[in-house]
Amino acid sequence: MIHFNQPPFAPKAFAYMQRAVEAHKICGDGEYTRLCSRWLEADTGAARALLTTSCTHALEMAALLCDIHPGDEVILPSFTFCSTADAFVMRGATCVFVDIRPDTMNLDETLVEQAVTPRTRAIAPVHYAGVGCEMDAILDIARRHNLYVVEDAAQAVGSRYKGRPLGTLGDFGTVSFHETKNFSMGEGGALLLRDESWIEPAEILREKGTNRSKFFRGQIDKYTWVDKGSSYLPSDLNAAYLWAQLEEAPALAAARMDSWNYYHAQLSELAARERIALPAIPAHCTHNAHMFYIKTRDLAERTALIAFLKQRGIQAVFHYVPLHSSPAGRKFGRFAGEDRFTTAESDRLVRLPLYNGLARADADAVVQGVYDFYAGR
Ligand SMILES: *Cc1c(COP(=O)(O)O)cnc(C)c1O
């Protein structure tokens, strides 16, 4: 069986987790949380990276910091995970879904401005597969209309747009360390803050509305409840598991990129014959090999391909059912403009097994499976 995913793991995780236990420091904001946060800050240039219990929670924090209220509107793609929408819906906002570009599956930046209304408060671009959205255009619209930008960079740790790290171009960036992502702590994520002015409000929000973070830094004598908040900090045990991978990030990232490039090279002949389409990486985007997908001709062909591969013990999977067509999406949102590509392109997309440590023989079996499927059609 070739699984679609295997959770990321680095062997030193055991030693680090043991050290956290022996130090009697498994609650939040311990040594490993500090190491992971500093790594993220060094990698992205964020004014502050705050480790969270999930990317979903980081998105919730961003929605709270944007002060989203009932009646506000947020512009986002329909082709995304529900968490991008949930965070704003929880604050009473309406989702305004905008079509995607067929090449990158990202928000079509040329359609964003016509979706802006007097109620729009934020734009939430999603960097699908770790490939950057057209951030210059999106940031320009946000600046002119005085909107927040919350980047859902869940899949984009390590990715760049025109050399700039994703997740730090908008006001807020959120990343995920779920076990399906490039680096993992089981469940977890981080909120990236571009500007220093957000550090204190975000720290308070994350620590139950207290100024405990300041207290730990020795800036105040005792801590107290100062504002609204919740508990968004993960156990240091999870951070210890993550740190083992971040410490080896360049090697893990290189191996993952090698698998991605191998798929791309091996499948290019099939793409040249126009049997399938391969992912497009704009020249000014540096991706992180988060995902390898191909596109079939249509939904029926995709269903047949997934079944064919399954018979060979290969787990290939489709991705999002567009949010605007889901029960909650219909209740909490509307599609602005025409759905030219969201449904049609998501129907064609199938993701191939890709994870840290994918064996070359397994990648070969997947490639062979795809070629054999098309040879029989
Ligand atoms: C994985 C993912 C999330 C959710 O991440 P969690 O850490 O599981 O909450 C949100 N948005 C996108 C685009 C994702 O891929």
Residue 318 belongs to domain spanning: 249-375
Whether residue 207 is found in the same domain as residue 281: no
Residue 4 is assigned to a structural domain of this protein: no
Residue to probe by mutation, ligand 1, list 155, 181, 321, most atoms within 8 Å of CB: 155
Q: Which amino acid is at 164?
A: R
Query: Cα Rg for the chain, rounded, in angstroms?
Result: 21
Number of CB atoms found within 10 A of residue 186's CB: 16
- What mean pLDDT is reported for the chain? 97
Long-range contacts of 275-280 (CB under 8 A, 24+ apart): 275/374, 276/370, 276/374, 277/348, 279/104, 279/129, 279/131, 280/103, 280/104
pTM of the model: 0.98
Nearest-atom index, ligand 1, CA of 176: 7
> Domain with 138 in it: what CATH number?
3.40.640.10
Residue 70 is assigned to a structural domain of this protein: yes
* 81 Cα to the center of ligand 1, angstroms: 7
Whether residue 270 is found in the same domain as residue 234: no
Residue 107 pLDDT > 90: yes
Give CA torsion, residues 55, 59, 62, 63, to 10 deg: -160
- Of 185, 214, 246, at which residue does a domain stop? 246
* Number of domains the chain contains: 2
* Closest C-alpha to 76, from 152, 166, 167: 152
Phi, psi of 246 (to 5 degrees): -60, -35
* 358 Cα to the center of ligand 1, angstroms: 22
Whether residue 235 is found in the same domain as residue 254: no
Ligand 1 neighbours by CB, cut-off 6 Å = 54-56, 80-81, 83-84, 126, 152, 154-155, 176, 178, 189
Q: What pLDDT score was predicted for residue 221?
A: 87
pLDDT tens, position by position, 50-102: 999 999 999 999 999 999 999 999 999 999 999 999 999 999 999 999 999 99
Residue 6 is assigned to a structural domain of this protein: no
Confidence of residue 285 (pLDDT cuts 50, 70, 90): very high
Whether residue 202 is found in the same domain as residue 292: no
What tokens appear for 175 in the block?
């990343």
Number of CB atoms found within 10 A of residue 145's CB: 15
Residue 3 is assigned to a structural domain of this protein: no
* 89 Cα to the center of ligand 1, angstroms: 16
Confidence of residue 261 (pLDDT cuts 50, 70, 90): very high
C-beta separation of 155 from 127 below 8 A: yes
Nearest-atom index, ligand 1, CA of 127: 13
What tokens appear for 132 in the block?
């950057």
- Distance in angstroms (rounded) separating the CA atoms of residues 77 and 264: 26
Whether residue 121 is found in the same domain as residue 269: no
- Of 194, 218, 246, at which residue does a domain stop? 246
Residue 108 is assigned to a structural domain of this protein: yes
DSSP 79-111: SS-HHHHHHHHTTTPEEEEEPBPTTT-SB-GGG
- Of 185, 213, 246, at which residue does a domain stop? 246
Q: Which amino acid is at 181?
A: K
What tokens appear for 220 in the block?
């105040």
Residues linked to residue 293 through DSSP beta bridges, in sequence order? 351
* 189 Cα to the center of ligand 1, angstroms: 9
* 188 Cα to the center of ligand 1, angstroms: 9
Residues linked to residue 73 through DSSP beta bridges, in sequence order? 94, 120
Helix (H) or strand (E) holding 132: none
Task: Decide: helix, strand or coil at residue 298.
Answer: coil
Nearest-atom index, ligand 1, CA of 189: 7
- Distance in angstroms (rounded) separating the CA atoms of residues 263 and 364: 8
* 88 Cα to the center of ligand 1, angstroms: 14
> Domain with 277 in it: what CATH number?
3.90.1150.10
Residue 7 is assigned to a structural domain of this protein: no
Q: What pLDDT score was predicted for residue 298?
A: 98
Whether residue 285 is found in the same domain as residue 216: no
pLDDT tens, position by position, 307-328: 999 999 999 999 999 999 999 9
Whether residue 114 is found in the same domain as residue 21: yes
